Amino acid sequence: MSFPELLDRIGGMGRFQVMHVAFLAIPLLMPWLASHNLLQNFTAGIPEHHCQVRVMTNYTHRVNLTASLHAEDLLRVSIPMDKSQKLEKCRRFVTPQWQLLNPNATSTNTIELDTEPCVDGWTYDKSLFTYTIITEWDLVCESRTLQQMAQSLYMAGVLVGSAVFGGLADRFGRRALLIWCYLQMGVTGICAAFSPNFTIYCIFRFLTGMAISGISVNSVSLCIEWIPTDVRAIVGTINGYSYTTGQFILAGVAYAIPDWRWLQLTVSLPFFVFFLYSWLFVESARWLVISGKPERAVKTLRKVARINGKMEEGEKLSTEGWPIAAPSGRGSLLQANGICWKRQPGCRRCRFSTSFSYYGLAMDLQNFNVNIYLTQLIFGAVDFPAKFISVLTIIFIGRRFSQAFSLVLAGLCILANIFVSQELQTLRMVFAVIGKGSLAASFNCAYIFSGELFPTVIRQTGLGLGSTMARLGSIMAPLVLLTGEFFPSLPLIIYGSAPILSGIATGLLPETHNVPLPETIDEVERQSKHTIKDELQMNVLLHST
């Protein structure tokens, strides 16, 4: 008897599976997990700013004059204009230029006047962002790259967490690592909210990123290893919708809590609740058998059968004739690496490009010159139809087509914006929204696809490797934005080309539609050989006709 058949005997998608999926999805559903990935859109929002105005007080008549000036006039004599006739963000006049109050003064006059950096600090417009890490630590002008560095360090933590927690979960179990990651998430998130300086903030954000990664990969494994084959795509999409709903709600929460410290605290405290109820989670029976613990697996399956109302079927279970044969050796990181990097080369490219382009768009909301809260709502809302369409194609067409099509479409939409004028903001937003929705659909498929490609013995390690490539992409995404200072269209060229190339490479992956989950590395190798043999036979048939 195969494991899917065993699951059907003890209830299939029964009461236990429904509750299990629901409690795993709650951290994704509310804006807790999603918000940490996109949090810096709001906690590191960059308000309009300019140098603090310094008025010469050496002369009494100057003081009397400034007292009668309007704020606009004071800025005109203190801050030069840039090429767009907007106030310079990083320079001010060495001395107030009173002659500029003359209506006949031209903008060319300001170019020739002596200026200096903002040695006395900056004045921030708090109409949109009240209090962010940018305003607290003055991460503007010469320090503006520190904003992207903070997000990249967070994503570096997610990368490290993928490698560390993925391997540990295959050794110590999905449940134990998930419990730990919930606790780490709550502690480090709160510590970040009380950070006294930018360096400490980055350290705790790095540790938060590690915890986020552990929660993501372990939640995926616990879901797909407890549910029947025919509903894996649906359950994976439900989790994807939960994450999307979190993004959607994030805009409202950020709008209601404009202080970055309180916002950071709000999205971190609930993880202590998740930590408490996570002790009720049930360890994967597949992993227990693979790890040489069949007695615990039987006990676990009987518990599941009892919850599903199949107690009699549960009592019939024993370790004899077990559907999964325990391997002689534990799967290694090297074996997972061989499967992902050699036999399935599209795996790493797909995850890298999806995350790379996704966060490139999602973390640059201010660039669309539309209210950032409204943009976040639109970017969150597009995921609903995108993921619905993706689950239909995943179920009725297959994983490989869904993954490849969504990646290529996303790349084309991003590249299209290169040829759209900056004045056509609505059209630019439409292309960006379609591209972001396509990448969300790609994410939806990737989590299902990745979990089905790896055998149980190294599934968590394999997911960790895939997630590692995704995090490499998300680390690089904010840094690519800096290339726009040299050539404005370069970030879009990079963001658009990567998913198109990955979509093509996805064609090298084996199809897993309606295929039982592999349990051992030998099964994966046999499936790969059968896939190659079938493709050769198909090529021969095509040539013969």
> Which pTM value belongs to this model?
0.68
Determine how many CB atoms are found less than 10 A away from the CB of residue 15. 13
Beta bridge partners of 121: none
- Going from the C-alpha of 320 to that of each of 1, 5, 317, 519, the distances in angstroms are 11, 16, 8, 18
Q: Are residues 431 and 456 located together in one domain of the fold?
A: yes
Are residue 153 and residue 290 in the same domain, yes or no? yes
Task: Determine the structural domain holding residue 366 and report its residue range.
Answer: 3-46+135-534
Cα radius of gyration rounded to whole Å, the chain: 27
Q: Is residue 541 part of a domain?
A: no
| The two structure tokens encoding residue 512 | 């897993």
Q: Which of 74-88, 125-139, 152-166, 313-327 has the lowest mean pLDDT?
A: 313-327
pLDDT confidence of 203, banded at 50, 70, 90?
very high
Longest dimension (CA), the chain: 99
Among 124, 145, 173, the domain-final residue is: 124
Q: How many CB atoms lie within 10 A of CB 120?
A: 12
Residue with tokens 């990097």: 341
Q: Are 284 and 172 in contact (CB under 8 A)?
A: no
Is the four-CA dihedral 439, 445, 448, 450 of positive or negative sign?
Answer: negative
Number of C-beta neighbours around residue 22 at 10 A: 12
Answer for the pair 159, 352: CB distance below 8 angstroms, yes or no.
no
For range 281-285, the mean pLDDT: 85
Tell me, yes or no, whether 508 and 399 share the same domain: yes
According to DSSP H, which parts of 308-371 are helical? 311-315, 333-338, 345-362
Residue 518 belongs to a domain with what CATH number? 1.20.1250.20
| 89 and 175 together in one domain | no
Is residue 488 helix, strand or coil? coil
- For residues 97 and 113, the answer to whether their CB atoms sit within 8 Å is yes
Strands 91-93 and 122-124: unpaired
Task: Tally Cβ neighbours within 10 Å of residue 5.
Answer: 11
Q: Residue 543 has what pLDDT?
A: 44
Same domain, 112 and 234: no
Q: Mean pLDDT over residues 385-397, rounded?
A: 83
Asked if the model's pLDDT at residue 399 lies above 50, the reply is: yes
What is the percent of the chain with per-residue pLDDT over 90, rounded to a whole number?
8
pLDDT digits (tens, 9 = 90+) for 108-133: 445 567 888 888 888 888 887 888 99
What does the pLDDT average to over 272-287?
87
Beta strands in 83-197 (DSSP E): 91-93, 115-117, 122-124
Same domain assignment for residues 329 and 277: yes
Task: Please tell me which residue, 273 or 466, carries the higher pLDDT value.
Answer: 273
CA–CA dist 412, 497 (Å, integer): 8
- Asked, for residue 544, whether it belongs to a domain, the answer is no
In this prediction, residue 498 carries a pLDDT of 82
The answer to whether residue 129 is domain-embedded is no
Residue 321 has pLDDT above 60, yes or no: no
Q: How many Cα atoms sit within 13 Å of 146 on the Cβ side?
A: 18
Q: Taking a C-beta distance cutoff of 8 angstroms, is the pair 391, 403 a contact?
A: no
Which residue, of 81, 103, 124, is where some domain finishes?
124
Give the pLDDT of residue 370.
67
pLDDT band at 343 (very low <50, low <70, confident <90, very high): very low
Q: What is the pLDDT of residue 204?
A: 94
Each residue of 3-59: pLDDT tens digit?
Answer: 777 777 887 788 888 888 888 877 766 545 656 777 888 888 888 888 888 754 443
**Predicted confidence band of residue 101 (pLDDT cuts 50, 70, 90):** confident
C-alpha–C-alpha distance, residues 185 and 264, integer Å? 12
**Mean of pLDDT values over 92-107:** 72
User: Does one domain contain both 115 and 15?
Assistant: no
Q: Number of structural domains, the chain?
A: 2
Crossing angle of helices 399-416/383-396, nearest 10°? 140
Asked if 150 and 208 count as a contact pair (C-beta separation under 8 A), the reply is no
Averaged confidence pLDDT in the chain: 75
> Do both 59 and 30 map to the same domain?
no
Confidence of residue 276 (pLDDT cuts 50, 70, 90): very high
**What is the predicted pLDDT for the residue at 29?**
60
Q: What is the structure's pLDDT at 328?
A: 44
DSSP states of 183-241: HHHHHHHHHHHT-SSHHHHHHHHHHHHHHHHHHHHHHHHHHHTTS-GGGHHHHHHHHHH
- Among the three residues 59, 89, 124, which one is the final residue of a domain in this structure? 124
- Looking at the fold, whether 165 and 112 belong to one and the same domain comes out as no
- pLDDT tier for residue 372 given thresholds of 50, 70 and 90: confident
Q: Are residues 448 and 301 in the same domain?
A: yes
Q: Are 48 and 264 in contact (CB under 8 A)?
A: no
Most confident segment among 9-13, 233-237, 496-500: 496-500
CA 285 – CA 291 distance, rounded (Å): 10
CA 293 vs CA 7, 287, 289, 324, 328: distances in Å: 18, 9, 5, 12, 13
Residue 545: inside a domain: no
For residue 197, what pLDDT band results from cuts at 50, 70 and 90? Answer: very high
Q: How many CB atoms lie within 10 A of CB 241?
A: 19
Q: What is the mean pLDDT of residues 89-113?
A: 70
Q: What is the pLDDT of residue 488?
A: 77
Does the structure show a pLDDT above 60 at 484? yes
User: Is the pLDDT at 534 greater than 50, yes or no?
Assistant: no
For 535-545, b where at least 16 C-beta lie within 10 A, e where not — what string? eeeeeeeeeee
pLDDT confidence band for 541 (50 / 70 / 90): very low
Tell me whether residue 542 is in a domain.
Answer: no
Cα distance between residue 503 and residue 404, in whole Å: 4
Element (H, E) at 50: strand 49-51
Higher pLDDT among residues 407 and 348, named by residue: 407
Contact 246, 31 (CB under 8 A): yes
Domain annotation covers residue 540: no
Report yes or no on 280 lying in a domain: yes
Kindly report, residue by residue over 499-531, the tens digit of the pLDDT.
888 888 777 777 777 776 666 666 666 655 554
Return the sign of the alpha-carbon dihedral for residues 62, 65, 71, 74.
Answer: negative
Long-range contacts of 316-323, Cβ-Cβ distance < 8 Å, separation of 24 or more: 317/6, 317/10, 319/294, 319/295, 321/1, 322/289, 322/294, 322/297, 323/1, 323/2, 323/3, 323/5, 323/6
> Which of 95-109, 142-156, 432-446 has the weakest average pLDDT?
95-109
Of the chain, the percentage scoring pLDDT greater than 70 comes to 71
Q: Angle 425-453/345-362 helices, nearest 10 degrees?
A: 150
Domain membership of residue 130 (yes or no) is no
Q: Does residue 12 sit in the same domain as residue 94?
A: no
Each residue's pLDDT tens digit, 427-471 = 888 888 888 888 878 877 776 777 666 666 666 566 656 666 666
Position 332 scores a pLDDT of: 47
Taking 50 as the threshold, does the pLDDT of residue 87 lie above it? yes
Specify whether 409 is located in the same domain as 458. yes
